[in-house]
Structure 1
Amino acid sequence: MTSNTSLCDICSLRYISNPSTHWCQDCDEALCSDCKEHHTLSKATRDHTFIPIADYKKLPVFITDIKPNCEIHNEKYQNYCQKHDCPICYKCIQDHVKCTDNIVPLEMVTQHFKTSHIFDDLTQSISDLETNIKQLRKGREDNLVEIADQYKSSVMKIKELRIKVNHNLDSIEQELMSQLKDAESKCSQEIKEILQCLNKVELEICNYDSTLKGIKQHASELQVYLVTREIEKQVSEQEKKLKSMMENKLFDYFTFSLEIHSERENILSDLCGTVSVEKNPTKDKLIYSKSRQAQILSNVINSFDNIKLRRIQKFNPGSKSVTGCIILPDGRMAFTQYQKNRLLIRKADGNLDFEIQLLENCTFDLTVVDVATVAVSSGASMYKPHIQLIDINSREKTNLIHTKSSCYGIVYVDETLICCGNVPNGIYKIDLKSNQTSVISSTIVSATKSYIAYFNSKFYVTNDREHTITCFDNHGTVIWTYEDRINIITPQGVSIDSNGNVFVACFHSNNVSVISPEGSRAKQVLDHKDGLHNPSALHYERTTNRLLVANNNGTVCLFEA
């Protein structure tokens, strides 16, 4: 098409300024009314599709930029390579000699695609995504109103108490109001952050529906096919993001309440109160198209046999004694420096954001508790073993929990911390509300560098002395144990992907291996050629399909599945 789409591509070559009124989708040419009939007769080998030029100009630029001719050879696309997922001309075939079995006629791929179920499913998915966002937004807005009402109700309780105790309650009132406001602000802030995220997702997908309607009416089959594939991938990513947020309980409801305590009701000076905040699972349900989602996920999420990782980043975290690493919800990365008891926070590009010097002796592993809090285990501390809760925003310790055993690998699950204990041995569960400790299992043996991960109601623990990885349920019942003293020597860090594949950092065999979800097979996916040097810790971020690996030599590698 010429740069001036107001001129007919045929007439303009003869220096006739004849305005174009139609667009030939098959030949990618603008035509005036006089040339349209002649154009059809001169190329009568097949039917041509014409649309008004005014409608064609309404299509987005990224659609009209898709041309029917090969950019390399300037020949018309005739075939499609399924292996490389791209259209090719007859001259391109020589570059695809190894793809013979995967080359099909282009018409076979694009014909009737506008009326295909995939196109309709994608349209429905966009509608479902918009419905999900509206539903989740309403839930969060309603929760804000409920929190405000509960806040007002609690304030009334405080006022009633204030009247009863008169002037002696001044100091207590001030403390309670401060706690109440802080709790309400924290709840509201978390909900508003979720709302901002939902608004961002809605902004990204709001134009998909209108785009699909436009290309269905006015774009060529090739353009529709290629654009549909691209939009399909973007819609799938947005669905995965919402699903991940749902799995991470970011849509759970906050409950706001105030409880007044009095050991001796008649003694005003003993009156006190506590502000408590609870989160209840959301009743919102996301809408999915199961058949289409299965089709999309099969292209996005790797099965065990097809797992491949590509290194996208390598940097120095600032320490050679990193024993814990994790990707934070906002994309930053956190590392624990064992001997120097530091928590290092690095930006998504690997550059240092800040570091927190912890007061206690050692820091071994860490886990995300919420968007602003991480829990850090002490390992073999010189002092009483413990777990610290650190607020990343304020860079301060918010809680210190003493443990019955030396605490190594740690993971956060449903308001509790699960840790690997050594001396005495056991898998311990710590309730964050009461700080009470219970034992999940005392028979599953953990070592001094055991790590733990959780996925789909199952725990996974490594034992670097026995060279084993053990999978067990919430009650401590062993489901399977995997042992390979050739390829998986000294397993340490462990993490799980969205398919249940178990990624393990193998220190002395110098690789990262993957164990199948049922624990029957394993294979090596990374080694020294990929930048590994005695890997000790790793973390698989299921939202972005990225794997973070920390080496003992002081380097960190980030891989993408």
Structure 2
Amino acid sequence: MASKRFVDSNRDNAGDFIGVSAVTQSCEPCMKTNVSKTATVICKDCDEYLCDTCQNPHTVYKPGQHIIVNVQDNTSAPVIIDMKGMDKCHEHAREIEFFCQDHYKLCCVSCVLIHRKCDQLDEIAKVSRQTRPDLQALKQSLIKMQSEADAMIADCKQSETGFNESIAKISAEVDTMKDRIIQLFEEAKQKLISEAIQFKTAKVKRIGNKCDASLKVKEELNNVLSMCCVVLERGTPSQQYIYSEQMKEKRKTIESTIDEQRKITFSSTMTVSFPKQVTSLLEMGSNSIKLNYDGNKTVDTSSFSLSSPPRPVTLELLVSVDLHKTGDYERDPFLTGLDFLPDGRLVAVDNKNKTCTILNERLQRLGTPYKFKSKPHSVACVSHDTLCVKVGGAYKAVCLLSVSTDNTITLTREINTSSKFRSICCMSPSNMVVSTYDDPRPARMISVDGVESHFDHSLAFPMKTYKVDESTCTYVLSKNTLVLTDRYAHTVYMYDTMNGTSRAVTNENIQGPRGACVGPGDTVLVCSMDKNSIVHLSVDGNIIGTYPVDMQKPTSIGLSKNGTRLAISNSVNGNRKLHLYKISPAMH
């Protein structure tokens, strides 16, 4: 069997899509009867390929001269290609011989019966001699499409590899976050136990003092009681009278001592409380981590999304109040500190009138404001009913206040401080972070027991001493990030207290930064006084958004514990306001 193959330089690139065509010379009479036999000779007069069987009938029965040569000797003759069925009509399985231009369809002799009335029905044998199709261009376009198909296959394989790599990366990131959380809890536990032991040591010392005093009283009572029994049983009337008079003063002294010791009370119970971020995480359970992928763009500020960048928010003004002097206020209110109790009540400290006031969701006063001895600067809510208020001036102290459900505010303790503090915020349930003024250390820590401490010396604080109202602070607990504003340098400093790194954030929208608070999703919200706006920052120092507010020189800011309400006040004499906003994730 004789055969031939077309060899092309692009054949290796063609692959399975185009295939490799086998070229053979078949007997034409046999092909007309659907029999495939290899041609061995060719009639050069009739230009017809013949097998050994058909050669004799061809020369005997077909008129004309017939020059018969072997196929191998006919090197210049055209070849017959096995079209693999492409030259057969799909409807009738007969050889295609015509092309209908009207219907743009290849036809066999059976199809011609249907297309006989068409205007242009060409015989392929004739028209193919007149017009040669540009098969080279077709070949190049097929090769190009094949290359594109190869590229798509490579993309698919790369995408699959990318998914596998993403899953491995996600697993590693979750493990890293888990290890960090475990480490954080272990460190928090050790710190908590240390604080508990310190607290216990101080209390046990006081208990010991009370016990010693009580033992002395008991010893003295034993002595005088013994004497009393002897005088009562055997003493003369004169002795009894003298003893009675002598014991009057001693009895008063003993009673006074007992009364003093009775007033000293102790609670031997200590408890632990967890911040809302931790309890929220437990409430969410396995939904606390979100998978981000194309088409899943839901923003959930209450969840911890893996590698999810912070998103902008929208502010919707709910209530606006003009702050003017009223009957029980001596001056126009100047709110220098704002924070929310866990139940949603707003706490505001008024620097000018030296008060702390509880407000409802309509910014209406609840209960009677608490009056301080000195001007308060800021407020931080450290538990469901406890406030820490920094009072300033010559009176350096932090006041711990309790707030009842009926909005009664009571002073529970005063902590005298060694430095002048301007702003105060929560670091943990038992520790606060404060900004200072007239002190070379711009930020410090203080516990609810009054123990002051410094941040690690590796933190590169600005080499400057701030004056009052030049700097404030806040603290992002989950990111271990201290935020410090510098009003006249138009800068917000971010300090990673765990790793000792820092960055200074400047931007045309950060002009005269004052009050700051932790924003949704562990971000930071800063009052930009000179721009009459709030700047939204990530702890990495990226600007997430800028939100104009309808007030001049916004100064104080506070976010509710559930992250849905934002309170802002300003510092313009004669035009002071208090705004309450609904804060929610931006749709886009």
Q: TM-score, normalised by structure 1?
A: 0.48
- Larger Cα Rg: Structure 1 or Structure 2? 2
